[in-house]
Structure 1
Amino acid sequence: MKLDAEFDVDKEFETLIATLRGWLSPEEIGLVERAFVFARQRHGDQKRASGAPYMLHPVKAALVLANYRLDAETYAACLLHDVLEDTKTTAKELEESFGAKVASLVEGVTKLRGLNYLSREETNLENVRKILLAMAADLRVVLIKLADRLHNMRTLQYLSEDKQQRIAQETMEIYVPLAHRLGIYELKWEMEDLAFRYLNPDEYRRLAGLVAAKRAEREAFVKETIDQIDHFLEEKDIRAQVSGRPKNLYSIYRKMVQQGKTFDEIYDLTAVRILVNTIPECYLVLGYVHEAFTVVPGRVKDYIALPKPNGYQSLHTTVMGSNGEPLEIQIRTKRMHEVDEMGVAAHWKYKEGKAADLVDSERFAWLRQMVDWQKDVPSSGEFVDRVKVDVFTDEVLVFTPKGDVINLPIGSTPVDFAYHIHTDIGNNLVGAKVNDRIVPIDTELVTGDRVQVITSRNSGGPKSDWLKFVKAASTKGHIRAYLRKKELEHSTPERPNVEERPRTVVTRPSLSDRRAVADSGFRIVVRGDATLPIVIATCCSPTYPDEILGYVTRGRGVTIHRVDCANIPSLAMEPERLVDAHWEMIPRKARERTIVIETLNVPGVLYQVSEEFAKRDINIKYMKNAERLSMFRKKGEAPRTQIKIVAEFADEATYRQTMEALRELTSVISVKQR
C-alpha cells in the first residue's frame, strides 16, 4: 500500500477536477483550479507528519466532498482551508482573489481549527459551541471540517499515540454524532470505524478477523437473497435496484455491547436495500417481501411516515433468510436514498446550491435551537450538556393531541414534552395523559405515544425532585432557572425556625393555614371532606401539587404532610391515624369584562388576538370585528379595525396578563377596558 508521502498531488487534483466536471460549469471549474494554484503556492514546501506535501491534505479533503456534488465555492474553500492559519495569507487577499463567500467559508473553517489538538475538557466546552454556531451560519463550513477530519483520521498512524487517542476520542464524541445528525452516513461510518480502531485496537482487530472469516459465506447468502427478490419483483413488473450493504464494524460492536451478545449471536451483519421510484411502490414491495419471506414480528419500522430527526426515510423490515438467520431489508425511493446516504449534502442537488435554505428548513430546526440556546445558557458546560443529550442522542417521536410530531431524547417524560412545547407549559404542569390515560409525570415516553399535558396557573411551579427523572438537558436548564429565580425572590433573611414534631405543632385548627391553601386556588380534601380542620405541617410545608397525606391529631384536627416527609415513618407507627388527602381545585366565579382592541387590519390578526384568550382558557362570550377608517392613519399604513370582546376572566391576574399580552402583539395599536 502506498503511503501518503508517495502520492502525487497533481494526479490527485486531476482526479478531483475530472469528477467535478460532472456537474460544475467551465467557469466554476476555473474557480477551483485557481484556488488550487493559490493554495499550493502559499503552502510551498510545507509537509505533513507523514512526510507528504501539505497540499495533498486539502486535495484529499476535497475528494471526500466530491462524493456529494456540492457547489464550486465549497471546493475552492476546501482547497484553501488552511492558508489563513498556516501561511501569511490574509482574509482580505482571499476576498479579493476569490470573492466574499469563499473567504467567509475559509474564515469559518479557520475558527474551528482550534478543535484539532485541544484537551478533551476544552474541546467539550467552548469549542462545541463554536462548531454548532458555525453550522448555523453556513453548513458548508462544517462539511469542509468533516472532510478535513476524515482525512486526518485516515492518516492518524503518523501521529503520537497520545494524539491518536485524543483525536479519536474527539472524533467519536463530536464528529461522528455530528455526521449522523446531518445524515451523512458513509462519512459517519468510516470515521466511526477509524476511531474504534485507535480507541479499542484489540477489539477492533478481533472483530475484523471474525467478520472477514464469515465474509464469503455471508456474501453468498446475500447474493441468493438479492436474486430471489429480483425474481419476484420482475414477476410483479416492478423496476427496482436491489443491493447488499455490510454493517460497519463499530455498529456490530455497539450492538454486541448493548445487547450483551457474542459475535456468533449477531446475525444482521448485512442489510439488503431495495430502491424503487415512488412511495406507493415502497409499500407495495414491502407487502411482496412479506409474502416471500417469514417476517420477524415487531421489526417493521416506517421511517417514511415518521422520518428520523435528520430526515432519514425508509421502510425497514426483518425477515428470516434461507439460511435461517434474520436479515434486515430496507425499502425506499431513489430520491430518499440519495438524501439518506448524503444527508444535508444531497440538498445542494435539489436546492441549486442555496445553503441558506437548508438552515431555514424544518429539517434543521435543531440548529436554530442551538443558536437560541447559546444566547441564554449561562455557561459553556451547560450548553454542551444540552447539546450532548438533546442533539447527539437517539430520539423518540411522540404526538401532540393535534397530531404534530415532537422529537425528544430517548428516556424523556411528559415533563420534557411540556418544556419542549413551551417553558410556561412546563412551569405550570400538574399532570399528563399518555394515549388518553392519566400517567405519572415521570413516565418514560416511547415512539408513537400521544401526549397531552395538564396545566394550571396555580401549579406552584416545577419541583427540584423533577431534576431526578427528566431527560432533556434543556428541560433541566429550564427547571434550574425557575428554581434559581424563586430562590432569589425568597432570599430575604428570616429568623431561624425550629421544627417541632408534627403532633405538637398544632394547639388548635389554623384558620390562616386554610386561607393560605385557599389563596392558592386549591383546597385540601381529607377522607372526601373539604371542611375538616387542617394544619399545614411546618416540617415539610406541602404546597400544591405535592402528593400529601393526613395525620389525625388528638382533638386538634388533621396535620397535612408531603408523602415523602421525613416524619412519615414515625407517624406510620400508628397507621390508623393516617388518612388519605388530596388537592381539589376551588371553583371560582368568573368575572365578565368587555375589552376593545384597535389593530391594523392585516391577515391573521383575529387569530393572534383570540389565541391569547385560548391559551389562558378564557371563555369568549362575544366578539365583534368592524373595519373603520381613521383620520390619523399614516400614509401607506394598513387600514385599522376595532375588535370588541366580552370574555370571562377567572381572576385579576389572568386579566392583567391577557391585557399585557395583547398590547405586545405587533399589529395591536391600543387595548382598553369598557
Structure 2
Amino acid sequence: MKLDTEFDVDEEFGTLIATLRGWLSPEEVGLVERAFVFARQRHGDQKRASGAPYMLHPVKAALVLAGYRLDAETYAACLLHDVLEDTQTTGKELEDGFGSKVASLVEGVTKLHGLNYLSREENNLENVRKILLAMAADLRVVLIKLADRLHNMRTLQYLSEDKQQRIAQETMEIYVPLAHRLGIYELKWEMEDLAFRYLNPDEYRRLAGLVAAKRAEREAFVKETIGQIDHFLEEKDIHAQVSGRPKNLYSIYRKMVQQGKTFDEIYDLIAVRILVNTIPECYLVLGYVHEAFTVVPGRVKDYIALPKPNGYQSLHTTVMGSNGEPLEIQIRTKRMHEVDEMGVAAHWKYKEGKAADLVDSERFAWLRQMVDWQRDVRSSGEFVERVKVDVFSDEVLVFTPKGDVINLPVGSTPVDFAYHVHTDVGNNLVGAKVNDRIVPIDTELVTGDRVQIITSRNSGGPKSDWLQFVKAASTKGHIRAYLRKKELEHSTPEKLDVEEHPRTVATRPSLSGRRTAADSGFRIVVRGDATLPIIMATCCSPSYPDEILGYVTRGRGVTIHRVDCANIPSLAMEPERLVDAHWEMIPRKVRERTIVIETMNVPGVLYQVSEEFAQRDINIKYMKNAEHLSMFRKKGEAPRTQIKIVAEFADEAVYRQTMEALRELTSVISVNQQ
C-alpha cells in the first residue's frame, strides 16, 4: 500500500478534475478549482500526522465522492471542509467567494467536527443527534463527512493506538450503519473492514490469511459458474452482465460469530451477480437459474417487490454450486444495481441534485421521522435509543389490511405495529389479528405477516408491562409519554385547606406482594388525621397509578382501595368514612454511579446493556467502549470488550436491580461499580 507521503497533491487533484469533467460544465469545474486554490492557500504548510501536506486529505476525500457523480458545490465544499476549523477563514469569506450553498455545506460539516459516540463525557450523546439531524437539513453534509471519515480510516496507522481504537469504534458504531442506511455499500464495506482491522487485529489477520489461502480455488469455482450462467443465458437470448463479488472480511467474521461457525463452515464467501435490462427479465432469469442449479429451500428473497428500507432492490437465491457448496446469486436490473451500489448518491444524480426532493421522498421518511423525534424526546440518550433500534437495526416487512408495507425492527409485536400506524391506534389497542387469526399482543411478527389492530375508546390506554415486550424504541417512547401524562394527572394535588385537612402520607409496604407506592416513586396523600396509619387493601391491591379512595376503619387507620374495587359499594353505605386520596411524587436525590461491564464482543451487546437502563428510565450520562480485551480470552472464545457507563440513580433498589439484570445477560462476563 502506498504511503501517505508518497502521494503528490497536484497529481491527485489533477485526477479529480479529469474525473469531474465527465459530467460537470466548465463553469462548475472552475468552482472546484477555485476552492482548491483557496483551501491550499489557507492551509499553507499544515501537515497531517503522516507528514504529508494537509491539503492531501480534502483532495482524497473529494476523490472518494468522485465515484458518485455529485454536483460541483459538494466537491467545492469537500475541498474546503476544514478551513473554518483549522484556519482563520470566516463563513462570510466562503459565502462571498463561493456562494451561500457552499458556505452552508462547509459550516454543516464543521459543526460535526469531533463527533464522538462512545468516547468523551463532555460530548455525551448529543453528537449523535447532530449528525443525524444534519442529514435532514442537507444530505450532502453527511456524504462529505463519510468521505472525510473513510480517508481518515485509510490513514489511521499514523495515529496513536488510543486514537486508533477510539476512531475505529466511532466508525463501526456510527458511520458504518449510517452508510448502510444510505445504501452506500462500497464505502460501508471498506470502513467496516478498516475498523475491524484495528478493533480486533488478531482476528482480522487470521481471517485475512484464511481467505487468501482459498482465493485461487474460489476464483476458479466462480469463473466456472459465471461461464455456465453466461452459456444458458445466451441460449435463452438474454443479454446480461455476470460477475462475482467477494464478501468483505467483517461480514464473514460477523456471520461466524452470529451463527457460531468456523471459517470452513462459511460457504458463501462470494456472490454471483446478474445484471439485466428490465424487471420482467429479472424474474425470467431467476427461473432459468433454478432450472440450471439445485435450489436451497427457503433462501429465495424478493427485494424487488419488497425493497429494503434504504431502497435496495434485487432478487436473491441460493443454489448448490458444482463444488457441492451453497452459492448466492443476485439478480437485478442495471438501474437497480447503480442505485444499490451508490445509494443516496444515485438518487442525487437522477434527481439532478435537488436535496429537498430527496429528503421529501418516501425513501428517506426515516429522516423526517428523526426530526419529529428530536422535538419529542426528553434526552439525547432517549433519542439515540430510538435511532439505534428503529433506524439502524434489521427490519421485518409486514402488511396493513389494505396491503401497505410497514417496516419494523426485527422482534416487533402488534403493539409496535399499532404505534407505527398512529399513536392513537396504539393507545386504544385492545387486541390484534395476524393473518386473520387473533393472537396475543406480544406475538413476534415476521416478514410477510398481515396485521390488523382491534381498538376501543374504552381500552384504558397502554399498560406499563407492555414495555417489557415491545421492540421499537419509538413505541416505548409513546408508551412512556402516555404513562407520564397519566402520572401527572394522578399526582396533581387537589386544592385543599391544609389547616383544615392535614395530610397523612403512606410509604408503608403492601402486604399484597405488588409494587408499593414507595417503590414506584410515589406516595399516597389522604385527607384526615395525620396520625392515622395507612394500609393498602388486600381485596384490590392498589398500586400506582390506580385511581384510589380511602376508608377510615375502626381502630386500624385508613385502608386504600382502588375506586373500581368490588367492595366500594358496601363501604359507601358509610359515606362519612370515605376520604379522598391521591398519589404524590416522592422527591428523590439523584446519585451518579460508574459501572464497568466486561462482555463478549458480539453484535447487539451494546443495545442489550443500554436497554436495561432504558427499561428503568435511568439516564445514561456517559457510555464508552473502554478497550478491547482480545488478548485475555481463551482459545476459541469470542473477543471481549469493556463498557464503562456513568448513570444517574434516584433509588438504591433500582441500582441493585439494574446490576443484577446486567449480570444475567448472556453476553456479560462481569459487572462492577468503579
Shorter-chain TM-score category?
A: 0.7 to 0.9
Partner Cα separation in structure 2 for residue 54 and residue 219 of structure 1 = 40
Question: 4+ residue runs of structure 1 moved beyond 2 angstroms?
Answer: 116-124, 492-674
Whether the 8 Å contact between 2:12 and 2:60 is mirrored in structure 1 is yes
Give the C-alpha shift of residue 348 in structure 1.
Answer: 2.2
Q: Distance in 2 between matches of 1:623 and 1:47?
A: 33
Change (3 A) 1:581 1:454: farther
Question: How far did residue 125 of structure 1 move?
Answer: 1.0
Change (3 A) 1:500 1:312: farther
> What secondary structure is seen at the aligned counterpart in 2 of 1:114?
coil
Shift of 1:667: 57
In structure 1, distance between residues paired with 2:632 and 2:247: 71
What whole-Å deviation, never above 9, does each CA across 1:447-505 have from its counterpart, x for those lacking one? 11000111111111111100000111111111111111111111156999999999999
Asked whether the 8 Å contact 1:293–1:320 carries over to 2, the reply is yes
CA 1:643–1:519: 2 relative to 1, 3 Å? closer
Q: Secondary structure at the match of 1:512?
A: coil
Helix, strand or coil at the partner of 1:120: coil
Asked whether the 8 Å contact 2:270–2:327 carries over to 1, the reply is yes
CA gap 1:577/1:369 in 2 versus in 1, 3 angstroms: same
Shift in CA distance, 614/454, structure 1 to aligned 2, threshold 3 Å: farther
SS in 1 for 2:509: coil
- The CA deviation at 1:7 is 1.1
Moved more, 47-56 or 626-635: 626-635
Cα pair 2:300 2:317 within 8 Å, conserved:
yes
Cα distance, 1:111–1:554 mapped onto 2, change above 3 Å: closer
Aligned Cα RMSD in Å? 20.7
How far, CA to CA, are the matches of 2:366 and 2:233 in structure 1? 39
Q: Deviations over 1:623-671 (max 9, x none)?
A: 9999999999999999999999999999999999999999999999999
Cα distance, 1:280 vs structure 2: 0.1
Q: Does 1:80 align with 2:80?
A: yes
Task: Give me the whole-angstrom Cα distance separating, in 2, the residues matched to 1:621 and 1:53.
Answer: 39
Relative to 1, partners in 2 of residues 1:217 and 1:347: Cα closer, same or farther, differing over 3 Å?
same
How far the C-alpha of 1:352 sits from its partner, in A, is: 1.1
Distance 1:235 1:521, change over 3 A: farther
Aligned to 2:577: 577
Q: Report the alpha carbon displacement of residue 546 of structure 1 after superposing the two structures with TM.
A: 13
Give the CA deviation at 1:147: 0.1
Q: Secondary structure at the match of 1:529?
A: coil
Residue 206 of structure 1: CA displacement? 0.5
Deviation at 1:40, TM superposition (A): 0.2
**Distance in structure 2 (CA, Å) of the matches to 1:580 and 1:671:** 45
Give the fraction of aligned pairs with identical amino acids, expressed as a percent.
94
Deviates more, 1:661-670 or 1:395-404: 661-670
Cα 1:540–1:633 change in 2 (3 A) is closer
Kept in 1: contact 2:514–2:543 (CA 8 A): no
Shift of 1:571: 24
- Matched positions, count: 674
How far did 1:378 drift? 1.2
Q: Deviations over 1:220-248 (max 9, x none)?
A: 00000000000000000000000000000
Gap change, CA 1:622 and 1:16, over 3 Å in 2: closer
Structural mapping, 1:537-552, within 5 Å? 540=540
Q: Partners in 2 of 1:641 and 1:121 — Cα distance?
A: 19
Q: Distance in 2 between matches of 1:420 and 1:50?
A: 49
Tell me the alpha carbon deviations over residues 182-226 of structure 1, each in whole angstroms, 9 at most, x when there is no partner. Answer: 000000000000000111111111000000001000000000000
The answer on whether the counterparts of 1:553 and 1:559 sit within 8 Å (CA) in structure 2 is yes
Change (3 A) 1:595 1:6: closer
Structure 2: how far apart are the matches of 1:604 and 1:7?
Answer: 40
Are 1:28 and 1:72, in contact at CA under 8 Å, matched by a contact in 2? yes
Q: 1:164 to 1:433 in 2, by over 3 A?
A: same
Partners of 1:513 and 1:534 within 8 A in 2: no
Distance 1:429 1:42, change over 3 A: same
- Whole-Å separation in 1 of the counterparts to 2:221 and 2:96: 58
Alpha-carbon separation, structure 1, partners of 2:242 and 2:643: 62
Q: Which shifted more, 530-539 or 391-400?
A: 530-539
Summarize the Cα distance change of 1:581–1:157 in structure 2 as closer, same or farther, 3 Å threshold.
Answer: same
- C-alpha contact (below 8 Å) 2:242/2:272 kept by paired residues: yes
Counterpart Cα distance in 2 of 1:593 and 1:251:
36
Query: Corresponding residue for 1:292?
Result: 292
| C-alpha contact (below 8 Å) 2:504/2:529 kept by paired residues | no
The question of whether the paired residues in 1 share the 8 Å contact of 2:507 and 2:523 is answered with no
Structure 1 runs not aligned, ≥5 long: none
Report the 3-state secondary structure (helix = DSSP H, G, I; strand = E; otherwise coil) of the residue aligned with 1:353: coil
Partner of 1:465: 465
1:615 equivalent in structure 2: 615
- In structure 2, relative to structure 1, the CA distance for the partners of 1:442 and 1:537 (3 Å cut) is farther
**Cα 1:83–1:423 shift into 2, 3 Å:** same
> Using the alignment, how far apart are the partners of 2:228 and 2:293 within structure 1?
10
Q: Using the alignment, how far apart are the partners of 2:491 and 2:525 within structure 1?
A: 32
Cα distance, 1:535 vs structure 2:
18
Q: Is 2:107 aligned against 1:125?
A: no
Structure 1 window deviating more from structure 2 (454-463 vs 510-519): it is 510-519
Question: CA 1:562–1:161 in structure 2 vs 1: closer, same or farther (change >3 Å)?
Answer: farther
Pairwise CA distance, 1:2: 2.9
Q: Relative contact order (C-alpha < 8 Å, sep 6+): which is higher?
A: 2
2:434–2:451 Cα contact (<8 Å) kept: yes
566-575 or 586-595, larger mean C-alpha shift: 586-595
Question: Which has the higher mean CA deviation after the structures are superposed, 76-85 or 534-543?
Answer: 534-543
In 2, distance between residues paired with 1:294 and 1:453?
41
> 1: distance between equivalents of 2:177 and 2:629?
58
Shift of the 153–574 alpha-carbon distance from structure 1 to 2, 3 Å rule, reads: farther
Measure, in 1, the Cα distance between the counterparts of 2:640 and 2:114: 55
Instruction: Check conservation: 1:434, 1:452, Cα contact below 8 A.
Output: yes
Q: Secondary structure at the match of 2:398?
A: strand
Confirm or deny: 8 A CA contact 1:505 1:537 kept in the other structure.
no
Q: Distance in 1 between matches of 2:486 and 2:33?
A: 61
CA positional deviation for 1:616 = 34
Q: Distance in 1 between matches of 2:415 and 2:165?
A: 38
After superposition, the Cα gap between the structure-2 partners of 1:628 and 1:18, relative to the gap in structure 1 and judged at 3 Å, is: closer
| Residue equivalent to 2:653 | 653
Q: In structure 2, do the counterparts of structure 1 residues 579 and 456 end up closer, same or farther at CA, with 3 Å as the change threshold? A: farther
CA displacement, residues 510-539 of structure 1 (integer Å, 9 cap, x when unaligned):
999999999999999999999999999855
Alignment TM-score, normalising by the size of structure 1: 0.75
Separation (CA, whole Å) in 2 of partners of 1:487 and 1:275? 58
Distance 2:623 2:82 in 1: 64
Aligned match of 1:567:
567
Please state how far the C-alpha of 1:615 moved relative to its aligned partner: 32
Shift of 1:127: 0.6
Q: State which structure, 1 or 2, has the greater radius of gyration over its C-alpha atoms.
A: 1
Q: Report deviation, 1:599.
A: 63
CA-to-aligned-CA distance 1:294-336 (integer Å, 9 cap, x gap): 0000000000000000000000000000000000000000000
Greater alpha carbon shift after TM alignment, 570-579 vs 365-374: 570-579
Instruction: From the superposition, tell whether residues 209 and 547 of structure 1 become closer, same or farther in structure 2 (CA, over 3 Å).
Output: farther
Work out the CA distance in 2 between the residues paired with 1:109 and 1:78.
9
Shift of 1:119: 2.2
Aligned to 1:269: 269
TM-score (norm 2): 0.75
1:39 aligns with 2:39: yes
Alpha-carbon deviation of 1:24? 0.7
Mapped partners of 1:170, 1:625: distance in 2:
10
Distance 1:3 1:488, change over 3 A: same
Structure 1 position 21, deviation (Å): 0.9
Q: Give the C-alpha shift of residue 114 in structure 1.
A: 2.6
